[in-house]
Structure formats: C-alpha cells, structure tokens
C-alpha cells in the first residue's frame, strides 16, 4: 500500500524479517509528536513563538522559500526540533497544517488529519483532489510547494 509506515511492526506486515534486516540501516523513524513550524510559511508571531528574535524573524521573512537548510541565512541549529522546511501532510498536527497558510481553517486541518489517519495520502495529486472535494482548491495551491508525503 502506498503510505508511510507508523513503526517497524507496521513495516514488517508488508515485508519479511530478512528483507527488513537488509534495509534496516537505511530506514529511520521520525518522531513527529511535537509540532514543527514550517519556516517557509510561518507568520512573524509563529516564528517568535518558536524562539526566534525580531532580527532573526526579519532575516527569515526576507529570504523565504528555502529548499535546503544550507540556504537559510541564519543559524537555526538550536531550533532543529521545532522547525522544518517542509511539512509532511501524512503525520503533521492540526497546528502544523495551520502554519502553512492563513486559508487553512481549524475545521479543514482537522478534516485532513482525520482523513489521512485512515487513508494516508499517496501523492500530491491525491491531496489536491481531496482539498478540491472540500471546496478548498485555493488551499491546495497555497500549500503544495511546502508539503511532502512520507
């Protein structure tokens, strides 16, 4: 099935132990239980809440659309556990979704989380179709370059 795996046991439902043993050094699990703020889309207030200074916020806002950590103009290493460049729509929180665009309502963010809990998104096109079905095509356009599917 085209979806992210929740944990090793989930993955082992799809492959045998011998195969897992061969690939395990290349696989990793990321703990997304803490909200992460997407620095490409966060508001000034959200960046300050993470802990950025006024000067850092100004620097980040002037250089939006980061695609690589090496392009970020300031040292953000102390915020590693609080920020991201892309938001994984298949395991982010409602609050993380809300940082992507002002068009994202609480209700729409919760609808996305509820949907993907049962049926994780397999492609960007599927995300767009889902949002279109919720009459939120404008949201799809606003978030598509800031999300990933894992």
pLDDT tens-digit readout, 115-125: 998 889 999 99
Question: For residue 24, what are its two tokens?
Answer: 């395990």
pLDDT band at 7 (very low <50, low <70, confident <90, very high): low
Position 31 pLDDT exceeds 50: no
Determine the average pLDDT of the residues in 126-146: 93
Q: What is the Cα–Cα distance from 135 to 138, expressed in whole angstroms? A: 8
Position 2 pLDDT exceeds 70: no
State the pLDDT at residue 3: 52
Q: What is the Cα–Cα distance from 109 to 117, expressed in whole angstroms? A: 12
State the pLDDT at residue 13: 82
In 3-state terms, what secondary structure has residue 131?
helix
Position 128 pLDDT exceeds 90: yes
Identify the DSSP state of 32. -
Angle between helices 106-118 and 124-133 (to 10 degrees): 130
Which conformational region is residue 119 in: left (phi greater than 0), alpha (psi within -120 to 50 degrees), or beta? beta
pLDDT band at 1 (very low <50, low <70, confident <90, very high): very low
State the pLDDT at residue 108: 97
Position 140 pLDDT exceeds 90: yes
């Amino acid at each position: 099935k085209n979806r992210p795996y929740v944990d090793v046991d989930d993955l082992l439902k799809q492959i045998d132990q011998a195969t897992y043993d061969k690939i395990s050094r290349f696989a990793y699990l990321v703990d997304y239980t803490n909200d992460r703020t997407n620095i490409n889309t966060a508001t000034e207030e959200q960046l300050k809440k993470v802990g950025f200074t006024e000067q850092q916020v100004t620097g980040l806002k002037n250089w939006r659309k980061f695609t690589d950590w090496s392009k970020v103009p300031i040292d953000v290493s102390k915020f590693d556990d609080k920020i991201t460049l892309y938001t994984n729509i298949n395991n982010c929180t409602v609050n993380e979704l809300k940082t992507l665009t002002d068009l994202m309502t609480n209700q729409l963010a919760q609808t996305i989380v509820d949907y993907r809990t049962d049926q994780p998104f397999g492609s960007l096109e599927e995300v767009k179709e889902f949002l279109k079905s919720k009459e939120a095509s404008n949201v799809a356009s606003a978030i598509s370059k800031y999300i990933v599917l894992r």
